[in-house]
Amino acid sequence: MEKSIGFLIVEDELMIAEMISGILINAGYSKIRIAETLDEAIEMINQVVPDIVLTDINFGKLNTGIDLGKLLFTKYKVPFIYITSYSGSEVVEKAKHTRPSAYLIKPFKEEDLLVAIELAIFNSKNSVNNQQPGEIMIKIGRSLVRLNYNDIKWLESAANYTTLHLVNNKKIIRMPLSELIEQLPSGQFIRIHKSYVVNKQHVSETSVNSIMIGDFVLPIGRTYKDNVLIFFKNFFS
């Protein structure tokens, strides 16, 4: 079945670009364009805005795929995925501030690319600006799991992993808390501590130093206290 999503692949190595294009075609996608330079990519985007962009980072010049990522996020509002051989912390740090939908390291698995694309498209269509309650699609293991915002009680950070404490169970995903919170509505979720984000709909009690969800007491970090007080002002009034 043909899928009507429009792709732009930005890659200066034509062999890699054609390999990615082949993966997309085999998955049922047909609207695929390839740009070998950043200037060509911007020209193509200005002609027809794609639904999603897959871009390399290194183009051997002053401007990089990260510069393109900034434009895609701020100007064009198009979801994009970095596909690169760079895994150094400095590059990743710069890249994450452009809010990519995913960051894949070459060589990558075909299934990882297709899952990342599906997540990017879903989350773009169901962005945090949509009416609540909404949904988020998250990769857990090799499966895509659709969760309602209201089913998430709180999130707990553990380095590059996040534990989702849900209404009926809990799940662990390989995604830093700082990235996951960007996909959740800020009017419903708030970070109260470097390790915790809570859903206000499940908060049963608050104090100056902690928040209670059911029988669990979560601490409020000192650097987050002012924002938390404002967010929960009705509880403290």
Mean pLDDT of 75-79: 86
Mean pLDDT, all residues of the chain: 87
Q: Are 192 and 156 in contact (CB under 8 A)?
A: no
- 161 part of a folded domain: yes
- 155 part of a folded domain: yes
pTM of this structure: 0.56
Count of residues for the chain?
237
Asked whether residue 2 carries a pLDDT value surpassing 70, the answer given is: no
Same domain, 156 and 108: no
Asked whether residue 130 carries a pLDDT value surpassing 50, the answer given is: no
Mean pLDDT of 122-145: 66
Q: Is the dihedral of CA 106, 107, 112, 114 positive or negative?
A: positive
Same domain, 97 and 154: no
User: Residue 170's CB: how many other CB atoms inside 10 A?
Assistant: 12
Q: What is the pLDDT of residue 129?
A: 45
Asked whether residue 141 carries a pLDDT value surpassing 80, the answer given is: no
- Summarised one tens digit per residue, pLDDT across range 80-100 is 999 998 888 888 888 988 889
Mean pLDDT of 119-129: 71
Q: What is the pLDDT of residue 170?
A: 92
Q: What is the pLDDT of residue 41?
A: 93
Mean pLDDT of 1-19: 87
Question: Tell me, what CATH number does 169's domain have?
Answer: 2.40.50.1020
Tally of structural domains, the chain = 2
Give helix then strand counts, H and E, for the chain: 8, 15
* Residues contacting residue 54 through CB under 8 Å, at least 6 positions apart: 7, 8, 9, 10, 11, 20, 80, 81, 83, 117
Task: Read off the amino acid at residue 100.
Answer: P
- 98 part of a folded domain: yes
Same domain, 85 and 169: no
- Summarised one tens digit per residue, pLDDT across range 150-193 is 899 999 999 889 999 999 999 998 888 888 887 788 788 999 99
- 140 part of a folded domain: no
Across 10-14, 53-57, 63-67, 232-236, least confident range: 232-236
Beta strand ranges found along 196-235 (DSSP E): 196-199, 205-206, 210-213, 216-219
- 87 part of a folded domain: yes
Q: What is the pLDDT of residue 1?
A: 45
Say whether 167 sits in a helix, a strand or coil.
Answer: coil
Alpha helices in the chain (DSSP H): 14-26, 38-47, 65-71, 89-96, 110-125, 177-180, 225-231, 233-236
What range does the domain containing 17 cover? 3-125
Selected residue with higher pLDDT from 128 and 57: 57
- 132 part of a folded domain: no
Residue bearing tokens 């809010």: 99
